[in-house]
Amino acid sequence: MSFHGIEYSPEMVANATTVADDGMPSIFNFPGGNPMLFYIAPDEPLRNEYVHKITNYGGVIADTEPRPSNQIILLSSYHLGHRLAYKFLFVDDSIEQGAVQNLDNYRFGYEGEADDATNHAYEAIKAVGSSPGRTVRNGRITHRFNKVKDDYILKQVRMHPKYRNSHKFFDDLANHPQLEGHTGNSIRSRFRTHLEPKLDWVYKTASDGSLIKDEHGQLIRDTLDNLPKTLKNRFTAEEDYELCQAIVDFNRARFFGAADEHGIVRDETGKPKEFDLYGQLTVPISFFSTLAKTNPMHTPNSWRDRYRKFVSRYGAKKYIDYYDKVTASGGVPEPIKGDSPSTAKAIKQLIGLNYRKDTQSALDEEISQLKSSNIDLAIIAQSQIAPEPLVKFIDRGATLESLISNAFFQVPQEEVEPRITEILESCSQDDISVLIEKLKATGFEPNFTAHIVMATNGDVAKMQEYVHEFLQRMNTQAIADPYELAQISRNGIWTPETDAMLCSGNPADIKRLQQTHDHDEIKRRGNFLKLIGVSVP
């Protein structure tokens, strides 16, 4: 039996401990995949441990003692006098490095020349050690990382710490011959999952990412405490708070800058105007340049984008309220998030399940769903079921009692809004039915909650805005017509009338809408209406 010039005697192979195919990397292989043979004396105290290690990594334990005619490597924990033996450390180091090491470095003090057979084996070992670490199994090529490649990746990251998360950086690394065969994704993944914990230092770099050298031209090691920031930096809750504060302050200064000698600001008709902290607060572009000077962690463009896409949607004062409330209770506030997918999903789910122009059919469907999901509960509950809310506006002629129950008036007035805000925020990850139930407990009837969801596209921030405005109206206006009281029209909050304008497609109507709603909100409303089956041009 002959493989690539290495003679395996029938005796050797028959008695050999076979290679375990347990998914471990094949380290102790000759080029071509043939396993290396090792001999460990039966009385060797470390025999079991190293048999396990060697076979786990692709080697074979032969029962035949090494002879000049075979290429079996004798391993021992001590010097065997005249016999050529190698230390177990060879096995450990090869496994740790992920590739066969130079066997010569592990030889016990043997004075003579290795015979031809051993030299042959060693040459093969050297070849394996310098291979790129490619493993061929069942005709499939995989590229394994090893110590050399890992060190190279770590070195590159240490030299470019600013780019340590960059996809592009790792894509570029994939073109380096040292990492041939690996994709950028693969190298990036290797770094993130295995190597990042080992990155205990980096080379010192300037803010532009260039390496800094000492007076001898040597690169300077730096601790991770001084790790440069990456290309993009997530906005923190503190930064959002700072931005919101700055926006509120700017608007307040601008508003009261227009006050008369009595400190009163008046509208075009001469009526005193109030500073609406919860309204749409705007800032000029120069605001962001100024902000970036005092808060250089983000560029003016980034601050502006943050405002455009998050703060203006959520509401600056609303976030300040949220932040203060959470920190006051010892919690950790979260940065402003975009539309929560779970909320959007929940709304979609609700709309998909419940929205029908025909109230009765929707109700029938809900009851049948209840029955199918939990028939006992459904039967018990059925007698108590009032018509379940749909995502729809309240009807003209709605009474105050149909919107708000007695439970509402049991809650101290100053606690109503905080309580509702808390419910809205806590339900952002839940199904809408949970929201309906919770709001019902505070006195909001299900059809009123459905109205609020309909008016706000189910957007939590807008729902808070709606509730704030509604409660203010309750406190300050005579409630002649509850229907009118509930019609709130402002940016991102809709009424049947504004919907009709949007659906008309009439340019004059759209122009009128644009006086109240910004482009994003109009687009969002169009998508929402389409979702619930309303035709929008």
282 binds DNA (CB under 7 A): yes
Total residues contacting DNA by CB under 7 A comes to: 57
Q: Which is nearer to DNA, 194 or 512 (CB)?
A: 194
Are the C-beta atoms of 410 and 443 separated by less than 8 Å?
yes
d(CA 438, CA 423): 7
Q: Compute the C-alpha angle 412/416/420, nearest 5°.
A: 150
Return the residue of 48, 105, 119, 142 that touches DNA, per CB under 7 A: 142
Structure tokens at 53: 């290690």
530 binds DNA (CB under 7 A): no
Restricting to residues 329-368, name those near DNA by CB under 7 A: 335, 337-339, 341
50 binds DNA (CB under 7 A): no
Nearest to 276 by CA among 244, 317, 323: 317
Residue appearing with tokens 């009837």: 445
514 binds DNA (CB under 7 A): no
CA 511 to chain centre: 39
290 binds DNA (CB under 7 A): no
d(CA 429, CA 481): 34
Q: Which is nearer to DNA, 285 or 332 (CB)?
A: 285
Return the residue of 39, 57, 145, 494 that touches DNA, per CB under 7 A: 145
182 binds DNA (CB under 7 A): yes
- For the bound state, the minimum distance from the C-beta of residue 230 to DNA, rounded and expressed in Å, comes to 3
- For the bound state, the minimum distance from the C-beta of residue 502 to DNA, rounded and expressed in Å, comes to 15
Site string for DNA, 225-254 (x = CB under 7 A): -----xxxxxx-------------------
Restricting to residues 20-49, name those near DNA by CB under 7 A: 22-23, 25
**19-50 residues labelled b (16+ CB within 10 A) or e (exposed):** beeeeebbbbbbeeeebbbbbbeeebeebeeb
d(CA 515, CA 510): 9
d(CA 88, CA 348): 64
DSSP conformational letter for 276 = -
Site string for DNA, 294-333 (x = CB under 7 A): ----xx-xx--xx-xxx-----------------------
CA 301 to chain centre: 23
224 binds DNA (CB under 7 A): no
Are the C-beta atoms of 477 and 485 separated by less than 8 Å?
yes
Are the C-beta atoms of 79 and 109 separated by less than 8 Å?
yes
284 binds DNA (CB under 7 A): yes
428 binds DNA (CB under 7 A): no
Q: Which is nearer to DNA, 83 or 229 (CB)?
A: 229
d(CA 524, CA 339): 11
- For the bound state, the minimum distance from the C-beta of residue 380 to DNA, rounded and expressed in Å, comes to 37
Q: Which is nearer to DNA, 81 or 296 (CB)?
A: 296
Structure tokens at 405: 């129950």
Which residues bind to DNA, rule: CB under 7 A? 22-23, 25, 135, 137-138, 140, 142-145, 163-169, 181-183, 185-187, 189-190, 192-194, 230-235, 282-286, 298-299, 301-302, 305-306, 308-310, 335, 337-339, 341, 518-520
